[in-house]
Chains A and B, each alone.
Chain A
Amino acid sequence: MEWVDFFLQQLITGLSNGMIIALIAIGYTMVYGIIELINFAHGDLFMLGAFLALTMLGMFGLGDWSGASAWAAVVIMLIASAGFCGALNWGIDRLAYKPLRDASKLSLLVSAIGASFILVNLGLFWGGLPMDVFAGGVAAAAPKDFPALVPNSNLLGESSLVQFTPKDVLVWAVTVPLMIGLTWIVTRTRLGKAMRATAQNPVAARLMGIDTDRVIGATFLIGGALGGFASVIYSLYNNTISFQMGYRAGMDAFTAAVLGGIGSMPGAVAGALVIGLVRSMSDAYFETRWTNTIVFGILVLILIFRPSGLLGSRAKEKV
């Protein structure tokens, strides 16, 4: 039946986009969990990861990508963007947030907005560099085509009305292992336990001998790296990037983190899947132009009626 196929298609698109949003949302929620900062620069960090990936493709040569060389390029871009975004996020914490550790949360937030502007403008400048990949710098602000390294062929057969492509496989093959790995780090390792301890009571963590500045730095590093991974799969999934893409992706991810309960990692993933589905369903059954209104309408409703989110703890602990 046609409507079933149509619905299934929106489900696949929504969930794949949701998993990409989830990687970004985890970066928001981890940082919020540990220093109570909505890191507004996080979406723009993600954007710079995509610019790095495209620049690297340009350096390799923009020729025909197929088979093994395409997959090798994907792996190299994933590693490079993750390393770049992780290091950059760590550096932003050092320069823009660490000096404000004892200042008010509002100062920290304003600093994050400042960092966001700087990154957006770096993206604009980067996009204006005279490089082949950026169409020679004539239109710095124009969206850039991202080469289709991953084929768009239908794995369910050409005759199927539902499209499930290698791009969807890529999204799940990258995001699921990363989330499992992250869960392992946070629940099982010494660093992960120190991260949770620092988030729950920073003073007590210091009294235990935990160097909380290092733990916070590691949190920014990991959250940034996840944003870097997300930037590459986003670019390969959508095949177009722009210096402004961090704003939309960042707002989606932030909404997802709030929806799931900011500070909660499973919450961020659940929230992101919901946002991904709401986006694809709204695009398909209403109108694309209403989608942002619906997503941010959800954000406002959660903030009013259930600020702790779907999976967030309702903050009642014995003191």
Chain B
Amino acid sequence: MSAGSPAFASVGTPPVMLRLQGLAARYGAIEALRDVNLEVRAGEIVSLIGANGAGKSTTLMAISGIVRATAGTVEFDGRRINGERADRIVAAGLAQVPEGRRVFPRLTVRENLEMGAYLRSDDLGPDLSHVHELFPVLEDRAGQLAGTLSGGEQQMLAIGRALMSRPRLLMMDEPSMGIAPMLVARIFEAVKELNREGLTVLLVEQNARAALKLSHRAYVLETGRTTFSGPGAELLDDDRIRRAYLGEG
């Protein structure tokens, strides 16, 4: 098997961890999501691809409880979570690395990581060393203000910060945006590594090719609706997908 297509290393079908059914949401007067249906099974990397404005970020924000769903359901571990407060959703084991990273610029790197563990009261030591192993630069810059880091370093911090809540499902919104290609490779490598350790990942990406190579399965979002879905490798070969999202004609 090539390095680009991770194995589905399981016996039987793993349980559904996250399920969206008929999810709709609006931003003011704009109907951002109309009918989003998707499933993420335990241990999977699932990506959500689509054009700008298709509703990818809104989908993640609705799952996280930041944007309120106007219809449909979000279930996590079989329990309905839409309508719950954002902090309850984090506590349930769902963390998000938001678009644009959104690190706290005038907190130190270390304080940013502590904020990720805000709801925990146990020893942060093991998780800090895990994050530092994954991204050693964060240990070197522990006392530096996050706003002074480069874009790629901020992305690593945003991922490390989300991991500090010990999520079982990590949602990532455009982790490759505005980052040097070498660092993008490093970040995708880290996503794979985390997935091998058992973390389930829902990935939103503009860089559809990279996302599809990395994912077990993918969904395509078009103007607020999920249209296609299938294994990452299959969508990568689909003519319609190639034309629409991979810039091939």
Contact = CB atoms under 8 A, between A and B. Distances in A.
Contact of A190 (B85, B100, B118): B118
Contact of A193 (B102, B111, B161, B165): B111
Given A196-B107, A197-B107, A203 B66 contact: yes
Interface stretch (A138-146, A207-215, A288-296): A207-215
B105 A197 contact: no
A210 B115 contact: yes
Interface string B41-64: 000000000000000000000001
B211 interface: no
Contacts of A208: 90, 115-116, 118, 161, 165
A211 B87 contact: yes
Contacts of A105: none
Interface in B92-124: 95-96, 98, 100, 102-107, 111, 114-116, 118-119
B6 interface: no
B85 A211 contact: yes
B147 interface: yes
Interface in A188-223: 190, 193-194, 196-197, 200-201, 203-211
Contacts, number: 73
B104 A209 contact: no
Interface string A276-319: 00000000000000000000000000000000000001000111
B6 to A, nearest CB: 27
Interface in B130-158: 147-151, 154
B105 A209 contact: no
Contacts of B150: 318
Contacts of B64: 206-207
The residue among A197, A207, A319 with the most chain B CB atoms within 10 A of its own CB is A207
Given A204-B98, A209-B91, A317 B115 contact: no
A153 B231 CA distance: 85
B87 to A, nearest CB: 4
Nearest to B102: A204
A318 B91 CA distance: 30
Given A201-B104, A203-B66, A206-B66, A318 B151 contact: yes
B86 interface: yes
B88 to A, nearest CB: 8
A204 B104 contact: yes
Size bracket of the B interface: 20 to 34
Contact of B66 (A200, A207, A209): A207
A209 B98 contact: no
A319 B104 CA distance: 11
Given A197-B115, A207-B95, A208-B115, A317 B90 contact: no
Nearest to B89: A209
B87 A196 contact: no
A317 B147 contact: yes
Interface string A139-179: 00000000000000000000000000000000000000000
Nearest to B148: A318
A185 to B, nearest CB: 15
A208 B149 CA distance: 20
Nearest to A207: B96
A201 B102 contact: yes
Nearest to B149: A318
Contact of B87 (A193, A203, A209, A318): A209
A200 B119 contact: no
A207 B107 contact: no
A200 to B, nearest CB: 5
A33 to B, nearest CB: 11
Contacts of A209: 86-87, 90-91, 118-119, 165
Nearest to B145: A317
Contact of B107 (A200, A206, A211): A200
A195 to B, nearest CB: 11
A237 to B, nearest CB: 35
Contacts of B102: 201, 203-204, 207
Interface of A: 190, 193-194, 196-197, 200-201, 203-211, 313, 317-319
29 contacts: A194-B118, A196-B106, A200-B104, A200-B105, A200-B106, A201-B103, A201-B105, A203-B98, A204-B98, A204-B102, A204-B104, A205-B115, A206-B66, A206-B86, A207-B96, A207-B102, A208-B161, A208-B165, A209-B90, A209-B91, A209-B118, A210-B87, A317-B105, A317-B147, A318-B147, A318-B148, A318-B150, A318-B151, A319-B100
